[in-house]
Amino acid sequence: MSSLNLDDFTDLIERPDGGMRRDAEARRERQIVPPGSLGRLDDLGEWLAAAQGAVPVRAVERPRVVLFAGDHGVAELGVSARPAGGAERLVRAVLEGGRPVSVLARRLGVPVRVVDMALDCAPDTLPEDVVRHRVRRGSGRIDIQDALTLDEAEAAFRAGIAVADEEADSGTDLVVLGDVSVGGTTAAAVLIAALCGTDASVVTGRGGEPIDDLAWMRKCAAIRDALRRARPVLGDQLRLLATVGGADLAAMTGFLLQCAVRKLPVILDGVVSAACALVGQRVAFRAPDWWLAGHSSGEPGQAKALDRMALEPLLDHKVTVGEGAGALLALPLVQAAAALAAELPEATPEEAEKEEEKPDEDAAGHGSE
């Protein structure tokens, strides 16, 4: 029996400050550019003000990319374009600066943190700060066995909580959350299908590096078989993560919920982070108010999960590579919204009066044509 009570998150997580959001809206109405003329940037600025509890909103100055890493036993079935156990090479490439997220993070000046939860390699092959939270070597093959024991799921979940606390305590003011995994999108699709009550074919995508039709059919069959194992444990989110998730997914779920507790905003990346967010929503219904959907990856499972949480992606570039790269592309947009909300001057009374007169003038002009 787990000693972790997930129901506590319902009481611990508050919504972003509604009063501050109203103050931000009122400030926006006084600024020199008419409300609505900046589109979603207005909404983002007001969301940030509520999340920060500050008007004017503070600049996002200490963002961090956090990537949870793991290998999934289901990759043995050929459901991924990468070989089973291949996530270590991806992690090493991220650390050495050779992956898309590394290039983008370097360009944007954002540090990248990788947290190994279940890579299928000897822990002494990677830096200590990467492997210190590891729960096990690889996660189980979810079509025929549990991904984790319940104790391992709890340990991974608690590790995610600890990482969130470390980030909040260190002054991180926004997290870009992603994963580095092989087989992770298969586990994510199972979680989404189970929580949304859909069939395997509805959520089966092509993965981070697109697979061919035969691999897609193998993936769909694996998700179908894992889904049969998931349905009996739908009422217990920790057991669900143990049954068909994995150490990296359990840790990401704990991380997301604790970020909401600590009032630390998160930009979600692809289908894996969306699946963990969906589990988090089941645990604490207010939690998604602290998260942004960075982009649409084109994965059907991601679209299903985001729709269930009423999160609209900021970008739609169909970036499937994972590793937080798509979400990182949305970071400058969030930073731009913060800058505009904070730095646009308020209109003078004369300018405000002219703006109020414009609709009448336009109407009069159209009437004389």
CATH of the domain at 138: 3.40.50.10210
Residue 96 and residue 153 in one domain: yes
Residue 183 and residue 198 in one domain: yes
Residue 106 and residue 206 in one domain: yes
Q: How far apart are CA 81 and CA 202, in angstroms?
A: 20
Please say if 323 is a catalytic residue: yes
Backbone torsion region of residue 28, taken as left when φ is above 0, otherwise alpha when ψ lies between -120 and 50, otherwise beta: alpha
Write out pLDDT tens, residues 236-278. Answer: 999 999 999 999 999 999 999 999 999 999 999 999 999 999 9
Query: Which member of 323, 350, 355, 361 is catalytic?
Result: 323
Mean pLDDT over residues 79-103, rounded? 94
Higher-pLDDT residue of 38, 362: 38
Residue 123 and residue 163 in one domain: yes
Residue 193 and residue 308 in one domain: yes
Residue 242 and residue 346 in one domain: no
Q: How far apart are CA 302 and CA 295, in angstroms?
A: 10
Write out pLDDT tens, residues 194-238. Answer: 999 999 999 998 877 788 899 999 999 999 999 999 999 999 999
Residue 46 and residue 189 in one domain: no
Q: What's the sign of the alpha-carbon dihedral 47, 48, 53, 54?
A: negative
Residue 346 has a pLDDT of: 86
pLDDT of 61 strictly over 50: yes
Binning pLDDT at 50, 70 and 90, where does residue 354 land? low
Has residue 211 been placed in a domain?
yes
Residue 235 and residue 184 in one domain: yes
Q: How far apart are CA 250 and CA 181, in angstroms?
A: 13
Percent of the residues in the chain that have a pLDDT greater than 70, as a whole number: 94
CATH of the domain at 44: 1.10.1610
Residue 229 and residue 158 in one domain: yes
Has residue 90 been placed in a domain?
yes
Residue 322 has a pLDDT of: 87
Write out pLDDT tens, residues 21-58. Answer: 999 999 999 998 998 899 999 999 999 999 999 999 99
pLDDT of 357 strictly over 90: no
Has residue 140 been placed in a domain?
yes
Residue 359 has a pLDDT of: 56
Residue 39 and residue 132 in one domain: no
Q: How many domains does the chain have?
A: 2
Has residue 108 been placed in a domain?
yes
Has residue 302 been placed in a domain?
yes
Give phi and psi for 72, each to the nearest 5: -120, 130
Range of the domain at 53: 8-58+340-367
Has residue 1 been placed in a domain?
no
Residue 320 has a pLDDT of: 87
Has residue 315 been placed in a domain?
yes
Per the DSSP assignment, residues forming a β-bridge with 66 are 113, 177
Binning pLDDT at 50, 70 and 90, where does residue 318 land? confident
Residue 366 has a pLDDT of: 46
**pTM exceeding the 0.75 threshold for the entire prediction:** yes
pLDDT of 363 strictly over 60: no
Residue 351 and residue 273 in one domain: no
Residue 365 has a pLDDT of: 47
Has residue 256 been placed in a domain?
yes
Q: Yes or no: say if 183 and 82 are a contact pair by the CB < 8 Å rule.
A: no
Q: Judging by beta carbons within 10 Å of its beta carbon (0-12, 13-18, 19+), is residue 366 exposed, middle or buried?
A: exposed
Tally: H helices and E strands in the chain: 16, 5
Q: How far apart are CA 216 and CA 253, in angstroms?
A: 26
Residue 29 and residue 42 in one domain: yes
Q: How far apart are CA 215 and CA 32, in angstroms?
A: 55
Higher-pLDDT residue of 212, 167: 167
